[in-house]
Amino acid sequence: MLSRLKLIDFRCYGSFSWQIPQQGAVILGNNAQGKTSLLEAVCFLLRLQSPRTARPGPLAAHGRQSFGIRGELPGQIRRILWAPDAPDLQVNGEPRRDQRSYLADSYPVVWMGNDDLSLVRAGADARRKYMDFLGTQWHPGYRTALFSYRRALKTRNHLLKHKSRDRLQIDAYTRQLALYGTELRSLRASLLELLLPHIIMAYRRIGGREEQVGAAYRAAEEGDLYERMCAGLDRDIRYGQTQNGPHRDDLEITLNGRSAAQFASEGQQRTIAISLKLAQSSLLTEETGHTPIHLIDDVFGELDPTRRIAFLQALPADAQSLITTTHLDWLHNTPCPLPAFQLENSTLRPVQS
């Protein structure tokens, strides 16, 4: 569990330090006080990813080019000094040469936010990100395949836009893309096979009804990936980007055999979204032997009382959970499940119970 967090020039925090309770905490505060940024800092420290931005640049405080995050965990002190040209990544004082080596022994994380409904309602991109965020924590081969695929895709798309359009060069990256893409699809299918029972179990716990939630991996095209890419080369050149591959795939989510996006009620969709995240948690615990740190950003106001209680009860008892909220009215006079802190002007103070 994360016992201490220090920030330098991260988002709205110039300098910040927090001794975190072992079981976690509820962080209270008005909007724009930096509650979500604290969870974001933990997520970036452990996964080198932010759920709010695709690039690290915006994480630096206004007017700054770099930022620092330091966290203490059992047996680990992780430190990031992020600069645009040369990020410095260290574990226990020893430099890690790249992002993959930094992530190799990091702790698992589950992020839950009030935009998780997009996992059911929005386009395929949200569901691919969900699978990839889980997959890179589940299996080192997944990280390798995903990062290699993304590099090859970026280069191939650049070549497709280039005026010379050297077809031999394009073909070399097409072969790489097909190799890593085929591996990535296979890993995603294996991951979903492991994940689905956890989704079903979580839905029953939260929903309390005998409804059948389902999920199926849908490739954007059938057949050999290299052959499909070669056949679509003229179209790719016309569009200036690769039209086939795992970056176009989707995770089809159903309820009682029908599309959850089209036919499930809002309450059912919210239950599915929560179930997807709780399934991440239970699968990572099973596969890694570590209960993930749960980062829960302002979700309780969107849930009815029954789902709220079921969700709190479904969180692993041994998990460290960091929960942000603007108020505690959703508790309806029941005791706060975790130590509470008030956040104001980038300062945390304990709330007396």
Please state the φ and ψ torsions of residue 4, each to the nearest 5 degrees.
-145, 140
169, 160 in Cβ contact below 8 A? no
How many alpha carbons fall within 13 Å on the CB side of residue 150?
A: 7
Q: How far apart are CA 153 and CA 160, in angstroms?
A: 10
For residue 60, what is the DSSP state?
B
CA angle, corner 51, sides to 123 and 8, nearest 5? 165
> Residue 262: how many CB atoms within 10 A of its CB?
9
> Is 163 labelled as part of a ligand binding site?
no
244 marked as binding residue? no
The annotation status of 49 as a binding-site residue, yes or no, is no
- Please indicate if the annotation marks 24 as binding a ligand: no
What span, in angstroms and rounded, lies between the C-alpha atoms of 276 and 202?
Answer: 8
Q: How far apart are the first and last CA of the chain?
A: 24
SS3 69: strand
32 is in an annotated binding site: yes
345 is in an annotated binding site: no
Annotated binding residue 207: no
Bridge partners, 296 (sequence order): 112, 323
Residue 325 assigned to a binding site: no
Binding site, by residue number, is: 29-36
Binding site for ATP, by residue number, is: 29-36
